Structure 1
Amino acid sequence: MKPLFRLLAHLPLPALHALGAAMGWLAFLLSPTYRRRFLENARQAGYGFGRVRGAVAEAGKLVGEVPRLWFGAPVRLLWDGAELIEAARGAGRGIIFLTPHLGCFEVTAQGYAQRFGPITVLYRPARKAWLRDLVDTARGRPNLATAPTTLAGVRQMLRALKAGEAVGLLPDQVPPEGLGVWAPFFGRDAYTMTLPARLAQQSGAQLLLAWGERLSWGRGYRIRLREWSGELPAEPQAAARASNAGMESLVRECPQQYLWGYARYKQPRKELAP
């Protein structure tokens, strides 16, 4: 797969997005399970299909752009709210970026690494060996480190924050059983990670909301940053509710680029909790 990804990485971004959009619609039309979950999740948030129709193609673009982002030349990036990063760095604080499955979440970490310096992102290692090797190789970029969802990974993120560096999380990702609590997400209980609050409490880092808007016609991306008001509550249930509310606010900025087909309300996997 790696040679194929390297080959596709040479294609222009508009071509990759066009290919991805076609794949997105193909998956939507051919998979009743995926289509039903997409529509149910959107309806849970109050959106009819007409409002989120564009998200079908955007989900495919998320896949189509991967070769370019992992193996290709840097993409065009615009910034909205970069002064929030500069203020946190100027105060000597680490930064915790909270990013939902919205737009291109891969590019937010890459953009920070290119412009500001070291960032560590949390990820769940792939189960298949070939995919794990592909992901580990592709994400090993300058100033961009990855931390697995293990105790060692949590310690790695804490060290980065205490050194004044940044970390990135997808708090609308369903964590393994024992690493979250049930909290409302668009009015329905979803198993929600408690890690962001623990990291913030132990490191004193600045919380920022971030997402990568995918610009039309393959023109690049705009990294949008939003200020987090106040502190995350110490109590896990309250912290999860606050985190989900923050993610909801970002999704409502651009519901056409949210990954509505993601199984947000699934039961957590039974794994060994770190």
Structure 2
Amino acid sequence: MTEPTDTRPSGRLRDRAEDAVLRGLIAAALALPLKARLWLMGRFVARVIAPLAGWRKRAMANLSYIHPDMAEDARRQLADRVADNAGRTMIENYDPKGLLRRMADAPLTGEGLADIEAARAEGRPVLFVTGHYGNFEAPRAALVARGYRIGGLYRPMSNPYFNAHYARNMHALSEPVFEQGRRGTMGLLRHLQKGGMAVLLFDVYAGDGAPIPFLGQPAPTLTSAAEIALRTGALLIPFFGIRNPDGTSFTPVFEAPIPHGDPLEMMTEATRRLEARIAEDPGQWFWIHRRWKPERQARRQRKRAAASTGP
């Protein structure tokens, strides 16, 4: 169940063409020395991909929604920094062996380190939670390079050809990896119940999630990470891979565990931890995500109101 499928993907001709271009770009970038590779991918995504794919426009819209008083030039500059980081992160995560080597000597920091070591010694499960900040795989790689086994759950890509090598790449960093869905969630639960460790990213829009305030606006958020931690007895520890000013190295930070309690309060605290990191450096968070979808939230609220006041 944790192995990537060997079945050849099937999809549209356009999907195949897009994947061929992406594979070629990745192969060319990986042939370059590290610093040149990261500079190239950061600039290419910021200057070419982000404008064409609408990422810059989306990031600026999100920034306007959260910071309505921010000047347009400032929003554009920040959106370009976000795209640069996204490009660097993508190519870094397509070199799992290289990322493991780079993170093997990275100093580990944070109040949660002692808890992680104690949990490993006791065989207690640990569920790490994080957001799309810096490089979210860097802390996982830092632990894996030190002998830890960190599983994960991933959301499959819409392009089946791209998803095939994307999934293989995730497996190459550390096993077990589960595809998002009921079957994958059950696999993750079993892994944790055996005393394993895993990571979940929680900062994505979830239509049926709780409207937890995020950067001043309600953001539908799943509470499943907290519920899994409660069900398995796992420590719930936020971690972050903070990109350093040199653009190539990271500071992995493992924060103090979030106390067990009400799942909504637990995820509200996880959200606060992410907000604090964004306040330190907003350019490291992926503003290109559709995190709030205010129009969709408004439509859902109108439907709920209409249903509650029915005939």
Q: Which residue of 1 is the match for residue 202 of structure 2?
A: 171
Measure how far apart 1:35 and its partner are: 4.4
Measure how far apart 1:218 and its partner are: 4.3
RMSD, aligned α-carbons? 2.9
Measure how far apart 1:70 and its partner are: 2.0
Aligned-partner Cα distance in 2 for 1:252–1:197 = 24
How many residues are matched? 264
Q: TM-score, normalised by structure 1?
A: 0.83
- Work out whether 1:255 is the aligned partner of 2:255: no
One-letter amino acid of the structure 2 residue matched with residue 217 of structure 1:
D
- Work out whether 1:233 is the aligned partner of 2:262: yes
Pick the structure with more helix per residue: 2
Identity %: 23
1:185 aligned to which of 184, 207, 214: 214
Q: Which residue of 1 is the match for residue 124 of structure 2?
A: 93
Pick the structure with more strand per residue: 1
Aligned-partner Cα distance in 1 for 2:89–2:274 = 23
Q: Which residue of 2 is the match for residue 131 of structure 1?
A: 162
Aligned-partner Cα distance in 2 for 1:41–1:112 = 36
Q: Which residue of 1 is the match for residue 269 of structure 2?
A: 242
Shift of the 42–214 alpha-carbon distance from structure 1 to 2, 3 Å rule, reads farther
Asked if structure 1 preserves the Cα contact closer than 8 Å seen for 2:226 and 2:236, the reply is no
Gaps of 5+ in 1: none
- Work out whether 1:74 is the aligned partner of 2:107: no
Q: TM-score, normalised by structure 2?
A: 0.74
Measure how far apart 1:150 and its partner are: 0.7
Q: Which residue of 1 is the match for residue 114 of structure 2?
A: 83
Shift of the 73–9 alpha-carbon distance from structure 1 to 2, 3 Å rule, reads farther
Greater Rg over alpha carbons, structure: 2
Where do 1:54-65 residues align within 5 Å? 56-65=80-89
1:202 aligned to which of 221, 231, 242: 231
SS at match of 1:208: strand
Q: Which residue of 2 is the match for residue 212 of structure 1?
A: 241
One-letter amino acid of the structure 2 residue matched with residue 63 of structure 1:
G
Where do 1:39-50 residues align within 5 Å? 39-40=63-64, 43=67, 50=74
SS at match of 1:212: strand
Asked if structure 1 preserves the Cα contact closer than 8 Å seen for 2:79 and 2:287, the reply is yes
Instruction: Please say which of residues 237-246 and 198-207 is displaced more in the overlay.
Output: 237-246
Where do 1:142-157 residues align within 5 Å? 143-157=174-188
Asked if structure 2 preserves the Cα contact closer than 8 Å seen for 1:100 and 1:251, the reply is no
Q: Which residue of 2 is the match for residue 33 of structure 1?
A: 57
Measure how far apart 1:101 and its partner are: 1.2
The structure showing larger relative contact order (alpha-carbon pairs under 8 Å, at least 6 residues apart) is: 1
